[in-house]
Amino acid sequence: MSTYLKDGLARNFLAGSWVDGDEGRAIAVEDPGLAEHVADCAEAGETTLARAIEAARKSFDRGDLCDMQPSARGRLLLRVAQEIRGIADEGSALLCRESGKSLEAAFDEFEEAAQYFEYYGGVADKIEGKSIPLGPDYADYTVYEPFGISAQIVPWNFPVSLAARSLAPAMAAGNSTVIKSPELDPIGLAMLGLALERADVPAGTVSILNGIGAELGAKLVASSEIDQIVFTGSIPTGQAILHAAADTVTPALMELGGKSAAVVFEDANLDTLMSSLQSGIFYNAGQVCSAMARVLVHRSIYDEAVECAAALANGLSVGHGLDNPVHTPVISAQQLARIEDITSTAKQDGARIAAGGARIDCKGYFMAPTILADVDPSSRVAQEEIFGPVACMTPFDTEAEAIAMANGTEFGLVAGVFTRDLARSHRVARKLRAGQVFVNEWFAGGIATPFGGVGKSGFGREKGLEALYNYVRTKNIAISLKG
């Protein structure tokens, strides 16, 4: 029987076993919907980290995953997918309580995690190298090799699905992995260890440790024993990790923040736009890196669009995640204070509050669904990532002006175009500075479509076949046939 939970404490998944925190330390976890303590998890320290890294190294050197027949590795990932589905009910109830998100959204995370393992399970035996023609005297080919130990740092907004997004391709390519879970909601992700355990993933191949970012996370990425860093989180943390990576010359994949814009032309379908706005900025209370944070609308339909957006925001059901409302709390008191603080600058910078604008007076950490109209594109609310349920709307007159505005931040994660004009949708999509462009449906695409940023939104790509090549390095082998 698994010992994932001991005396109500969620433990660390260390190389195939469940262990307590160093010196019995624990991290308290809150229910953001009630602003009260809900659980504790065992906090790993330096000793546990060193054991996880050593186990990962031994597992890699033994070839537990990388020397497995690729098709067998693929089947292993498919088993993990199946086991994730097996823990989804229990896991999503825990994730819902600790993250504040709706039960449905929490369940979707486990389902998406399972799909990542299925997708990358299917490609584990298709990571094919190239043969390079050098004439009759040589045989030359490339092979894709795993890095070794992949150190992965996961944020709190989608802890389970984002962990799976990086872990599944890392495993498909044959790496060992050490994951640091987010301290605000580590328990659903710790449960992923159960799925790995039940699927008989070789011990040592994967560890999932709970710890504080600036302590355990910083130690993990600074270790000279790791071979790759995968970071998903904020720009300041990403910058700190890049400094650490520079010291050890360790390759790092950076999936950072965004301030993404939808460009809405005069021929757009407003119903389509509103349904995209609902998921784009209110899903998970706007705590989504690729949220529809800015909505740039052609002046001829701007007033109507603002009115519809305000009605949408004012009409959303609000409540505790367990009741499955559309609008749920943000993750913490600190996050709520930050969102309110940035939003409060909008008015003095000339914006109009069309809906919301402040916290909801209740027990949990609820920010009202907020629509800011007439936002100056250079103002703080238009330039900074708010990471909350706050959309900034601004009118434009010409296509060129809209493109300049959409591209006018330091970010470049995703962007959107809403129009019925096919030629314009292609033309504008090509001009938008972003890793992914959605046309007429925010979040169109899925686990098979490459995702990642330009500018300060980061570099490297996750999802799709493209992501696989972040988890391998190319070796060229040139053979002289001359004698």
Write out the catalytic residue numbers.
255, 289
Residue 187 binding ligand NAD, by CB under 6 A: no
Q: 28 near 40, Cβ under 8 Å?
A: yes
Q: Toward ligand NAD, which CB reaches closer, 174 or 257?
A: 257
- Contact range with ligand NAD by CB under 6 A, out of 149-157, 269-277, 322-330, 365-373: 149-157
Residue 385 binding ligand NAD, by CB under 6 A: yes
Strands 5-6 and 9-10: antiparallel
Q: How far is the CB of 256 from ligand NAD (least distance, A)?
A: 5
User: How many chain residues bind ligand NAD (CB under 6 A)?
Assistant: 30
3-class SS at 114? helix
Contacts of 398 (CB under 8 A, 6+ apart): none
Please give the residues from 203 up to 232 whose contact with ligand NAD meets the rule CB under 6 A.
213-214, 217-218, 221, 232
Q: 386 near 339, Cβ under 8 Å?
A: yes
Q: Toward ligand NAD, which CB reaches closer, 169 or 258?
A: 258
Task: Quote the Cα angle for 15-21-27, to 5°.
Answer: 120
Q: How many CA atoms lie within 13 A of 199 on its CB side?
A: 27
Distance CA 331, CA 403 (A): 33
Angstrom CA distances, 294 to 259, 275, 277, 366, 470, stand at 7, 15, 10, 21, 30
| Phi, psi (rounded to 5 degrees) for 150 | -95, 120
Q: How far is the CB of 448 from ligand NAD (least distance, A)?
A: 16
Residue 42 binding ligand NAD, by CB under 6 A: no
Residue 387 binding ligand NAD, by CB under 6 A: yes
- Contact range with ligand NAD by CB under 6 A, out of 114-122, 175-183, 198-206, 363-371: 175-183
Q: Toward ligand NAD, which CB reaches closer, 239 or 314?
A: 239
Buried b (16+ CB within 10 A) or exposed e, 200-237: ebbbbbbbbbbbbbebbbbbbbbbebbbbbbbbbbbeb
When CB distances to ligand NAD are compared, the closest residue is 213
Q: x/- contact string, 437-456, with ligand NAD (CB under 6 A)? A: ----------------x---
- How many of the other CB atoms lie within 10 Å of CB of 28? 11
Q: 25 near 43, Cβ under 8 Å?
A: yes
Strands 472-480 and 260-264: unpaired
Q: x/- contact string, 400-439, with ligand NAD (CB under 6 A)? A: -------------x--------------------------
Please give the residues from 245 up to 304 whose contact with ligand NAD meets the rule CB under 6 A.
255-258, 289
Among 9, 49, 77, 240, binds ligand NAD (CB under 6 A): 240
Among 33, 121, 148, 155, binds ligand NAD (CB under 6 A): 155
Q: How far is the CB of 250 from ligand NAD (least distance, A)?
A: 13
Task: State the amino acid at position 439 in one-letter form.
Answer: V
- Contact range with ligand NAD by CB under 6 A, out of 7-15, 96-104, 147-155, 393-401: 147-155
Residues present in the chain in total = 483
Among 100, 169, 182, 460, binds ligand NAD (CB under 6 A): 182
Among 17, 234, 332, 440, binds ligand NAD (CB under 6 A): 234
Q: Which of 460, 435, 474, 475 is nearest to 166 (CA)?
A: 460
Residues that bind ligand NAD (CB under 6 A): 153-157, 162, 180, 182-183, 213-214, 217-218, 221, 232-234, 237, 240-241, 255-258, 289, 385, 387, 413, 453, 458
